[in-house]
Amino acid sequence: MQRQAVVAGQFYAGNSRQLREDLTRLIPEISIKRSVIGIVAPHAGYIYSGAIAGQVYAAIEIPATVLIIGPNHHGDGAAAALYPDGAWLTPLGTVSINPRFNALLQEHVPFVQPDSLAHQSEHSLEVQAPFIQYLRPDATICALCIGHGDHAAVRRIGEGIAAAIRAYDGDVLIVASSDMTHYESAESARRKDDLALEKVLGFDPEGLLRVCRQEHITMCGVVPTAVMLVAAGELGATRAELIAYGTSGDVTGDNRQVVGYASVSVW
């Protein structure tokens, strides 16, 4: 099964030459890269959040296997939808789904179901793929699209992912795809996003879910981020670093209603 690039030409350039030029500009040259377990990276159009994402991808070593976890913006398909075996197409070419790791995820992770419908129109996972392809052309991926979930479900999924990675017996990067506060003033977005990022940097997935609920923080990838934190903690991660933060207002100059973007590395 091949998944077409449904937001190429919208969220990022639709042809290979322009996309490579954009990625060269968005990803800074960093000579010393850190080996990490997980990252948070935004998923808006590259004009808005590509530089925030590019900074975290530039700072890390990308292993040969990457698990991308994103939210389900459309509500289609399974609640925890794992893209079946096959490949994803982007303007940079084909990135293969890793069949062995896919099988281990289905074996170890509760609630996960093979399902392509949830991925059919979902941009949050797709926009991560060109960054991975550009920096690690031989990488294979697995793609997990998750809807809403409470703390108990998040913990079980995160622990299952950690168990699958241990069984895989190879390095896996976990990418949690998320934007931050949506459509508030830049000042309000920064205040709310600081509260959420405090929980991310403090390895507090339950606190992250709670503060987003209590403070009405519209972090669309809060569940994928919490799942990544649980899995990373199970795999021995103890540190997290905010790599970059910004808003759409930094690009447009209009700070009245912005979307916030953050990138974080976890190791």
The pLDDT of residue 64: 98
3-state secondary structure 149-165: CCHHHHHHHHHHHHHHH
Which pLDDT score is estimated for 165?
Answer: 98
Backbone angles phi, psi at 205, to 5 degrees: -65, -40
Helix locations, the chain, DSSP H: 16-26, 46-58, 99-108, 123-126, 129-135, 151-168, 186-201, 205-214, 222-234, 249-252
Contacts of 123 (CB under 8 A, 6+ apart): 6, 7, 11, 43, 73
- Closest C-alpha to 205, from 158, 241, 239: 158
- Can you say whether residue 125 is alpha, beta or left, with left for phi > 0 and alpha for psi between -120 and 50 degrees? alpha
* Cα–Cα dist 35/266, whole Å: 9
List the chain pLDDT tens, one digit each, 267 residues: 899 999 999 999 999 999 999 999 999 999 999 999 999 999 999 999 999 999 999 999 999 999 999 999 988 999 999 999 999 999 999 999 999 999 999 999 999 999 999 999 999 999 999 999 999 999 999 999 998 889 999 999 999 999 999 999 999 999 999 999 999 999 999 999 999 999 999 999 999 999 999 999 999 999 999 999 999 999 999 999 999 999 999 999 999 999 999 999 999
Name the residue ranges covered by the structural domains of the chain: 2-266
> If residue 174 lies in a helix (H) or strand (E), which one and from where to where?
strand 172-177
Domain boundaries 2-266, CATH class: alpha beta
How far is it, in rounded angstroms, from Cα 184 to Cα 218? 10
